[in-house]
Structure 1
């Protein structure tokens, strides 16, 4: 009923899972070539008539021992979706990289990978779970998921970790695990604010607090849409 393609690899069909507590289909991506970004296309097969009163919620996990995490859905009006998966290289540890075991999956990301992307490891352990359920129930579940991400400040991307690594869900946890990377992030944010606000200095070198509020609103929106713009922030 479903199929997935990891960029640069063969198409892989879903397998029905009996007595699976709601997840009726799974796809295990194997023999996936290491890439800086691996784009996974998930879709309903062309010969399948998907009932309009149902939706297929999509889940991911990195190993059989983990729990599935919700990342999106497929339906009659949305027969396909593209997910961008980023997994760090095994054994790669530097001030500019994430240590092994931490990855990120973005929902429905059509952007091309950047030339400065972090090298990724083989994603052969990536498992996709698909649950077909009544549309109203599925949409409610997705709305709750989106609301939770907004509250937690993680936007449309969720962190997926290998067993034993643990997830990062607060700024303090991020700073503790990646102190130098956090410092670099803070410096980029401060520099971006400085670049913007210096355009509104009065003769005495002051800036209205309304200008700061305006910067923050624009910055927040842009960060949600494309956080990679911070890589381009430099001193004017």
Structure 2
């Protein structure tokens, strides 16, 4: 009735769970390739007529010993969903971090057990189990609504622990917005960058007063690296 495919791996069909009062179908995505994929697509098979008065709630877990966690649903109006696998380095908890009501959920796979299977800095997920429960629409949507409220409460709790970045309260997310809010500082920043480039490149002028583009590329790489490490060096840039 259902199928799933992970990035770079073959399609895998669901298996019915006999005599089950809970999950009626499961899909096991096992290690056909090292699991460094970032997306899982789950869908109702094209030849299946899914009843309109039911929905299929979707659950995930990483091993048979773990508990399933809810991440979304499928229905006649939403016969497929894409779930993003986020292999985070900072948060040791496994949880849904995005609302999947629009068909896109996000699964945080990071924890101590997964970290033991890392290779070259990337996590190898040996097995991922999808559980699917077919429920009456009213009951299933009530479950989804409760899950969304829990996710919103979790986000609100987490956001209260995060310091806002300068400018975030003003909604600054682009260079143009930055220049509009801080026009003088933006002009000063541009002048500092241009002066820094001039100071560096002027040491490589040829007899005609030209500079090879390779010298510019070299300056840009060094500038970006230094900017990432300590941007305060720009305060010391002066004209020669």
Conserved 8 A contact 2:8-2:37? no
Cα distance in structure 1, aligned partners of 2:152 and 2:17: 32
Conserved 8 A contact 2:29-2:127? yes
Question: Which residue is equivalent to 2:209?
Answer: none
Cα distance in structure 2, aligned partners of 1:191 and 1:37: 34
Question: Which residue is equivalent to 2:71?
Answer: 71
Question: Which residue is equivalent to 1:153?
Answer: 155
Cα deviation, 1:2-56, whole Å, max 9, x if unaligned, reads 0000011000000101133310000010125346552000000011000101100
SS in 2 for 1:8: coil
After TM superposition, the score normalised by the length of structure 2 is: 0.57
Question: Which residue is equivalent to 1:54?
Answer: 54
Question: Which residue is equivalent to 1:160?
Answer: none
Higher deviation after alignment, 189-198 or 141-150:
189-198
After TM superposition, the structure 1 = structure 2 runs for residues 172-211 of structure 1, keeping only pairs within 5 Å, are: 186=163, 189-193=164-168, 199=181
After TM superposition, the score normalised by the length of structure 1 is: 0.57
TM-superposed deviation, 1:81: 0.3
Q: Which has the higher contact order (CA 8 A, sep 6+)?
A: 1
Among 96, 104, 122, the alignment partner of 1:109 is 104
Cα deviation, 1:58-114, whole Å, max 9, x if unaligned, reads 0011111111111100001110000001235xxxxxxxx338x75555533399xxx
Cα deviation, 1:148-174, whole Å, max 9, x if unaligned, reads 1112227xxxxxxxxxxxxxxx659xx
- Coordinate RMSD, CA, aligned: 3.5
Q: Which has the larger radius of gyration?
A: 2
Cα distance in structure 1, aligned partners of 2:72 and 2:7: 19
Question: Which residue is equivalent to 1:127?
Answer: 129
Q: 1:171 to 1:43 in 2, by over 3 A?
A: closer
Q: 1:38 to 1:103 in 2, by over 3 A?
A: farther
Cα distance in structure 2, aligned partners of 1:32 and 1:98: 27
Give structure 1 stretches of 5+ with no counterpart.
Answer: 89-96, 112-117, 155-169, 176-184, 201-233
Q: How many pairs align? A: 161
Q: 1:119 to 1:52 in 2, by over 3 A?
A: farther
Conserved 8 A contact 1:3-1:11? yes
SS in 1 for 2:49: coil
